[in-house]
Chain A
Amino acid sequence: MTEKIKIKSKNVNVYYGQKKALDKINLEIPTNKVTALIGPSGCGKSTFLRCINRMNDTIDICRIEGKIIVDEEDIYSTEVDPVLLRAKIGMVFQKPNPFPKSIFDNVAYGPKIHGIVNSDDELEELVIYSLKKAGLFGEVKDRLNDTGTSLSGGQQQRLCIARAIAISPQIILMDEPCSALDPIATAIIEELIDELAKNFTIVIVTHSMQQAARVSQQTAFFHMGSLIEVGHTDQIFSTPSQKKTQDYITGKIG
């Protein structure tokens, strides 16, 4: 791909204790595009995603080798503050995980701790903007003080997306964001991903091949800790070049 590159992984190995979870991953993620990570359960997709915002730092037994370069800077270098890094990178998890706070405070929390806003008015504006971007505002505008957990699953997921957007990140990582959602809520999130990709670099892990084909421009196929194939999404799903990829996406064994 000839696009601008936002994230570059260079020979990344990840170990959990003695066990190697990722083996020599070299992957370039283009700016303001959606990259889908696919592959069988346990192949290392979430592990790779967590490398990008240094979430693996929080796991004691986890050790990383190689480089992850975001905007020309190695994020594992000693000068990088993981907290600041995470302000640049939003993350949405498989299960919606709103804080036990009001809808408003769920979104306001990040901007407050990262000191993004200067006044209450500005904060309110940002919260509304983020809820609108996440396609949730219309449904919650009259109940911003209700707890986040009082929302439906699909609404909670969009609340988490609003929370991720509120810190105005450059990158959004999504780990199976639609796995617990119905087709309508899924469509709303996919529409949102298309919209967000105009301004953000998105990396999404999904187990739905059709979803990967719909929302992403680049697809990377992982298998047992290795990156088997990466390419334009259209190509990966119509004419993959590796047999392992083809067998996986078409559901074959033997």
Chain B
Amino acid sequence: MKEHIVTTYDEDLNSLKSNLTQMGLDVEKQIFEAVNLIKIINITKAKEIIKNDESIDALEKKIRGFATITLSKRQPLADDLRQIIISLKISSILERIGDHASNVAGRILSVKKAPDSYSTDSIHQLGLLVLKNFSTALSAYDQGSKKIAQSVPTEDITINSVYETCFREHLHLMMEDREIIGFCTQMLFVAKELERIGDLSKVISKEVIYNLQGTLK
């Protein structure tokens, strides 16, 4: 990789990228913890996740501020400019994904305990798929890989069908046992949050592809 004549320029761009990578890892951890909550409900953990969302929001603001200063200081062009624009876009998507993870924790907080008859397997399974596809989207950005990015939308199709299955399964559960309607409704909201994270991972992968299309052949 060629370097800029002005070394502080490289330092600025590198630090932008490392802040974004950090934000990605933090959000990944939030999703991981939130998905775990589905299996093992843990009030303390749930509160922790909601609290941690603040630091993710703060990271987004930091990246935005940093990008703004770099734009005005360096007036970047070509690939440098694209790198800054994608940092802004991805950080704002990550911030929204963070919100969805925190919402999952919020729902879990409000149900407190699963009914004995209920199995969390299917939604937990959905969560694992979503987490995995999110990680794939992140590494597509990290490695600048079109190939990895292209696998994300394909996998999202599977996620959507698993979501549909969860949805139908919960309808059945609710029809069979009125006692758990309240609980199942909350879990359907959880599933919806996860499905949204899936969609947003797809958006990240599309940004990565768009960004790569502008690069040299």
Q: How large is the interface on B (under 10, 10 to 19, 20 to 34, 35 or more residues)?
A: 10 to 19
Binding site for A on B (CB under 8 A): 2-6, 9, 75-82, 214-217
- Which chain B residues border A85 with CB–CB below 8 Å? none
Given contacts A251-B5, A251-B9, A254-B2, contact A241 B216 (CB under 8 A): yes
Q: Which of A241, A246, A251, A254 interacts with B6 by CB under 8 Å? A: A251
C-alpha gap A253/B80 in the complex (Å): 14
Asked if A71 CB lies within 8 Å of chain B CBs, one says no
Q: Which of B4, B5, B81 interacts with A238 by CB under 8 Å? A: B81
Contact status A252-B81, CB under 8 Å: no
Residue of A nearest to B80 (CB): A250
Majority SS of interface residues in chain A? helix
- Which chain A residues border B76 with CB–CB below 8 Å? 250
Min CB–CB distance B36 → chain A (angstroms): 43
- Which chain B residues border A169 with CB–CB below 8 Å? none
Contact status B2-A238, CB under 8 Å: no
Contact status B214-A239, CB under 8 Å: yes
Contact status A247-B2, CB under 8 Å: yes
Asked if A224 CB lies within 8 Å of chain B CBs, one says no
Those of A205-240 within 8 Å (CB) of chain B: 209-210, 213, 237-240
Contact status B2-A240, CB under 8 Å: no
Contact status B214-A250, CB under 8 Å: no
3 pairs of A and B residues whose beta carbons are closest in the complex: A252-B2, A254-B2, A239-B214
Contact status B4-A246, CB under 8 Å: no
Apart from A238-B82, A251-B4, 9 more pairs, CB < 8 Å: A209-B75, A209-B77, A210-B75, A237-B77, A237-B78, A239-B78, A251-B5, A251-B6, A252-B4
Asked if A243 CB lies within 8 Å of chain B CBs, one says yes
